Amino acid sequence: MDMNNSPVLECVGLTKSYGETIAVGDLNIDVREGEIFGILGANGAGKTTSVECAQGLRRPDRGAVRVLGLDPIADKARLRGRVGSQLQHANLPDRLRVREAVSLFADGSAEAARLMDEWELGPLARIPFGGLSGGQRQRLFLALALLNEPDIVFLDELTQGLDPAARKEVWTLIEQIRDRGTTVVLVTHFTNEAEALCDRVAVMRDGRLVDQDTPAGLIDRHSRGVRMRFDGRPDDVDWLRNVADVRSVRFDRGEIEAVGNSPMIVRIGAELMARNRIPHDVRVFQPTLEEALLSLLEGERR
């Protein structure tokens, strides 16, 4: 994906408190044009408050926020139509039918028809909101959030409460949004969701930014590493320690376990071939963003 470096969203020193409780403390993030930027953290980490400040729904106590170069509070009128939003607790009347909901928000019948067709809402047209499945509701909310073809859209806990099939369906829709050229800010507490969708991720804990990078960068920095296990002998440990990208090696009940960076897999394979040692059983375990997140947050607690 081609992305330029234009900051679509900038938060510099963003701070928001409620009484003695710091909801967001000194947050610094920048979101680039055309990316899916994830804000990841447990409930109460400050994710929702951060994006509410970015949308002009809450006024920060300190710091600066710029969306498309504008202040989301002072320039709210200029940003209207350029910013889309699906809020965490979005809802519609149960008896409101899908076609009625689209017509209510669309600018005329032609716009409503385009939206119904573009987001494949036709089969749902006569179904009341209360009769929609979780995935269908989110499809409708996404369509409404993109009504004016915004430059940036905020999606807050979009897949919370959905079953795995519906969650995968919504993931596809989010990727379609990005493919249209819209920048996406995705708030989530699902590590697999952030890993699957996001170009970069900011990890928050107790209102503060813990780290931010690509999912792969966070995994490389904070996970234990790639693990490779194969049948071997105790004397294999010595030469394996000298293979590039290997961090640690141990012999365990007839098996060798090597831990290191991803290129280690190819290097060990080449060494085994050169030594005419072909293991009968080779298993590779790739680290995940969840493993990195747990390690990162545990390190923060310490």
Q: What is the pLDDT of residues 86-140, one digit of tens each?
A: 765 667 899 999 999 888 888 778 888 888 888 888 899 999 999 998 888 888 8
Among the ranges given (26-40, 152-166, 195-209), the one the predictor scored with the smallest mean pLDDT: 152-166
Q: How many CB atoms lie within 10 A of CB 162?
A: 17
Are 94 and 215 part of one and the same domain?
yes
Residue 275 belongs to what domain range? 224-286
Q: How many CB atoms lie within 10 A of CB 236?
A: 21
Whether the CB-CB separation of 201 and 289 falls below 8 Å is answered with yes
How sure is the predictor about 3, in pLDDT bands with cuts at 50, 70 and 90?
very low
What separation, in Å, do the N-terminal and C-terminal C-alpha atoms of the chain show? 38
In a domain, 299, yes or no: no
- Mean per-residue pLDDT of the chain: 89
Q: Rounded CA gap, 30 and 37, in Å?
A: 9
Are 70 and 185 part of one and the same domain?
yes
- Polymer length of the chain: 302
In a domain, 292, yes or no: no
How sure is the predictor about 248, in pLDDT bands with cuts at 50, 70 and 90?
very high
What residue spans of the chain are helical by DSSP H? 47-54, 76-79, 98-105, 109-118, 134-145, 164-179, 191-197, 215-222, 236-240, 264-274, 289-301
The answer on pLDDT for 201 being more than 90 is yes
Are 231 and 244 part of one and the same domain?
yes
The answer on pLDDT for 1 being more than 70 is no
In a domain, 300, yes or no: no
Are 106 and 55 part of one and the same domain?
yes
In a domain, 173, yes or no: yes
* DSSP one-letter string for 11-38: EEEEEEEETTEEEEEEEEEEEETT-EEE
Q: What is the pLDDT of residues 252-270, one digit of tens each?
A: 989 999 999 889 999 999 9
Q: In 3-state terms, what secondary structure has residue 8?
A: strand
Are 208 and 147 part of one and the same domain?
yes
Query: Between 267 and 297, where is the model more confident?
Result: 267
Label residues 12-34 b or e (16+ Cβ within 10 Å = b). Answer: eebbbeeeeebbbbebebbbbbb
Are 166 and 231 part of one and the same domain?
no
Mean pLDDT for 199-213 is 95
Are 183 and 208 part of one and the same domain?
yes
Are 95 and 54 part of one and the same domain?
yes
In a domain, 2, yes or no: no
Quote the number of domains for the chain: 2
pLDDT value for 161? 80
Q: In 3-state terms, what secondary structure has residue 282?
A: strand
Among the ranges given (18-32, 163-177, 181-195), the one the predictor scored with the smallest mean pLDDT: 163-177
The predicted model scores a pTM of 0.82
pLDDT value for 6? 64
Nearest to 293 by CA among 185, 177, 194: 194
Task: Give percent of the chain with pLDDT exceeding 70.
Answer: 95
Are 255 and 282 part of one and the same domain?
yes
